[in-house]
Amino acid sequence: MKKRQLGSSDLFVSELGLGCMSLGTDSMKVQEIIHAALDEGINYFDTADLYDFGENEQIVGKALKSVRDKVIIATKAGNRWNENKDSWYWDPSKKHIKEAVKASLSRLGTDYIDLYQLHGGTIEDPIDETIEAFDELKKEGLIRYYGISSIRPNVIREYVNKSNIVSVMIQYSMLDRRPEEEVLPLLEQHGISAVTRGPLAKGLLSEKMLEKASEKGYQDYKLNELQEMIPLLREKLSHERSMTEIALQYNLANSAVSSVIAGASSIAQVKENAKAVQGKSLSKDELSLIQSITKANVYDQHK
């Protein structure tokens, strides 16, 4: 599998990363899926301290222990479970981040994290303090690099201008083209990589397509719009390739994107996603066609 440089770092990440949130807590099954990912050439694994109350980090770390020096482990911090563990709250303070990293290191069973990410963020945060925490962790050798996970252009802009982030994880797909207008150009201009999540738009762009459709629609698409547009995309584009391949290749066609993060709950899904990423790149005509059929959505509420 091809690899791309992550921002200005010396990390080279596989074009497909494994999103670990949906792996579950069956340790044996998780190990099988992760080993299948490794066999496909995936070297980038994304988790967070929020997932399964930290158990996800523990299981992922255990599964990757024997190949630790060959993989890139990314995790996140900033959300904290309450005492009852029935909801969480936001805490981007320096104190919390410096405590959270130690807990993540312990659960992952490693002495460093390749990419440590702020798991959200608002413009009201103490951003300078948060950046200070990440910079100190890097100097201390506990993390190699840091980034943020955000869909807020104004927050992203603050970190681009003030910090040493190497990546921004952002939701992006043919049905959510919001990053194209301002975020992706901004990142590329500053040599910062986009790591994209949600490329299959909750399954709407997978082979299951409209089976995954909700009465609520998706983003600013109403259900009836999806019912018209998704079959049209398939008719115009997927003669020789799957919808999954078209969806993942759409993300990879943007030069700001280093890796597409896709979850998997089975070995078959890992293999399908890996095959899709290793398929043929979309042509300019195909990209133009997709963009003529789909909406050029823009951010309105997430500033």
Ordered DSSP codes for 16-43 = EEEE-GGG-S-HHHHHHHHHHHHHTT--
Q: Which helix (H) or strand (E) holds 237?
A: helix 223-237
Instruction: Return the exposure string of 41-50: e unless at least 16 CB atoms fall within 10 Å of the residue's CB, then b.
Output: ebbbbbbbbb
Question: How far is 258 from 262, CA to CA, in rounded Å?
Answer: 13
In the set 51, 172, 218, 250, the catalytic residue is 51
Instruction: Give me the residues paired with residue 168 across strands.
Output: 148, 194
Q: What is the pTM for the complete model shown?
A: 0.94
Class of domain 3-201+250-281: alpha beta
Amino acid 303: pLDDT:
61
β-strands 88-90, 79-81 pairing: antiparallel
Q: How far is CA 164 from CA 110, 135, 172, 204, in A?
A: 23, 8, 23, 35
Question: How far is 201 from 179, CA to CA, in rounded Å?
Answer: 14
Alpha-carbon Rg for the chain in angstroms:
19
The structural domains of the chain, with segments of one domain joined by +, span 3-201+250-281
Amino acid 302: pLDDT:
62
Query: How wide is the angle at C-alpha 147 spanned by C-alphas 175 and 113, nearest 5°?
Result: 120
Collapsed DSSP state (helix, strand, coil) of residue 90: strand
Task: Go through the chain and tell me how many residues it has.
Answer: 303
Other CB atoms within a 10 A radius of the CB of residue 210 amount to 12
Is residue 159 flagged as an active site residue? no
Written as tens digits, the pLDDT of the chain (303 aa) is: 999 999 999 999 999 999 998 888 889 999 999 999 999 999 999 999 987 777 899 999 999 999 999 999 999 998 877 777 778 778 899 999 999 999 999 999 999 999 999 988 899 999 999 999 999 999 999 999 999 999 999 999 999 999 999 999 999 999 999 999 999 999 999 999 999 999 999 999 988 888 888 889 999 899 999 999 999 999 999 778 899 999 999 999 999 999 999 999 999 999 999 999 999 999 999 999 999 999 998 887 666
Collapsed DSSP state (helix, strand, coil) of residue 10: coil
Question: How far is 103 from 11, CA to CA, in rounded Å?
Answer: 23
Packing angle, helices 55-64 and 27-39, rounded to 10: 50
Question: How far is 249 from 200, CA to CA, in rounded Å?
Answer: 11
Amino acid 79: pLDDT:
82
Identify residue 283 by its one-letter amino acid code.
Answer: S
Question: How far is 153 from 123, CA to CA, in rounded Å?
Answer: 10
